[in-house]
Structure 1
Amino acid sequence: MTLMPRIPALTLCLGLSACMAAERQAPGPLAEPPVVADGEGRCLSRVTTPAIIETVTEQVIVRPAVLDSDGSLRSPAAYRTVTRQRILRERREVEFATPCPEVMTAQFNASVQRALKARGYYAGPINGVLDSRTGRAIQRFQRDRGDVDTPVLSLRSARDLGLVAVPREDAS
């Protein structure tokens, strides 16, 4: 069984009721990072995305081959292996809107699993539990759509899956 790495999160409480509501929730493995109300009725999540590092290994010629006047090989070329790394994307902290904890019920989570299964992202059981398999499916779905690269469901992805209503001002 492969366990998902824990993603460090920063919790901000902008009102005592938002903190207390988040504490009352029985968190599952992906209930973290806690969501926080921003004062406008929205809930936000903040995660740190890891850096993406590329490792390149190549053969570099040290001494070229030496040929005789008739074209026969006198001594072969000499090579050395060079390995280097470069950062493709820096580690960064990302804050995004997410469904609030009171929305993330077992029924809602089962709907997330069904919606991801219908789109070919999830192959597990429809059990309403946000486990690591569901988190990986959410992350692949969000990454493929250019959304946040995290197993935490974003509000944008929840809307794209048809699970959360789009506000009227965004619907036009």
Structure 2
Amino acid sequence: MILRLVLGSALVLAGCAQQIAVTAPAVGNLGVELIRLKEGQQPPQAAGVCWAKDTTPAVIETTTEQIVVTDEQRDDQGKVVAPATYQTKTHQRLLQDHEEVWFRAPCPADMTVNFVATLQRALKARGLYLAAVTGVIDVTTSEAVRRFQAERGLDSPALSLAAAKELGIIATDISKL
């Protein structure tokens, strides 16, 4: 009897472990939905389609090197009488200029208190939002959104439509899957 109970418990636990492994969410790539435009340009406008904009920072590489100005001086016995002198030179190189990136976003009319509270709960369930659920987009909520999206290629505090869909707070059109 005890053996059956132990085996039954083991089977139940094994079934749970398999279910958890199967339902683990995959990390998507939100960066593929970005539109890069020249400064001042906007994406195409359409009814019911809203956009958000973020500016990616410039990436600058700084290198510093020591250059010998004068060599050290030694006497006949090889003892250093004058040390070498050096000059520090620093160079900067622009690797990537800043740019504006646009992405689809929930429309402002959709960002209700209930919607934002649902967003906060979804982020809280993933361990990204630790504050109280208020239904207000504040700095803590924006930072949690940024952390969620940064793992997926969009380092922005503004919620993207793709991230909202991945969080399960906006319906996904299954005919396009």
Q: Which has the higher helix share?
A: 2
Q: Does 1:158 align with 2:158?
A: no
Task: Give the superposition deviation at 1:66.
Answer: 4.1
**Identity of matched residues, %:** 44
1:51–1:90 Cα contact (<8 Å) kept: yes
Structure 2 residue aligned with 1:25: none
Q: Does 1:120 align with 2:116?
A: no
Report how many aligned residue pairs link the two structures: 139
Q: Distance in 2 between matches of 1:79 and 1:65?
A: 10
Structure showing greater relative contact order (alpha-carbon pairs closer than 8 Å, 6 or more residues apart): 2
Unaligned ranges ≥5, structure 2: 1-38
Q: 2:106 aligns with which of 99, 104, 107?
A: 99
Q: How does 1:21-40 map to 2 (within 5 A)?
A: 38-39=45-46
Are the structure 2 counterparts of residues 56 and 108 from structure 1 closer, same or farther at C-alpha, using a change threshold of 3 Å? farther
Q: Distance in 2 between matches of 1:61 and 1:144?
A: 44
Structure 1 residue aligned with 2:51: 44
One-letter code of the match for 1:162?
G
CA-based RMSD: 2.9
Are the structure 2 counterparts of residues 56 and 169 from structure 1 closer, same or farther at C-alpha, using a change threshold of 3 Å? farther
1:136 is paired with a residue whose SS is helix
- Answer with 51-60 or 92-101: which moved more: 51-60
1:102 is paired with a residue whose SS is helix
Q: Does 1:81 align with 2:115?
A: no
Q: Does 1:167 align with 2:173?
A: yes
2:100 is paired with a residue whose SS is strand
Offset from partner CA, 1:95-148 (integer Å, 9 cap, x none): 11001122211121122222222323222222111112211221222122112x
Q: How does 1:58-77 map to 2 (within 5 A)?
A: 58-67=65-74, 72-77=79-84
Q: Does 1:130 align with 2:137?
A: yes
Task: Give the superposition deviation at 1:159.
Answer: 1.4
Normalising by structure 2, what TM-score?
0.63
Q: Distance in 2 between matches of 1:46 and 1:156?
A: 14
1:37–1:43 Cα contact (<8 Å) kept: no
Normalising by structure 1, what TM-score?
0.65
Instruction: Answer with 1 or 2: which has the greater Rg.
Output: 2
Are the structure 2 counterparts of residues 78 and 118 from structure 1 closer, same or farther at C-alpha, using a change threshold of 3 Å? farther
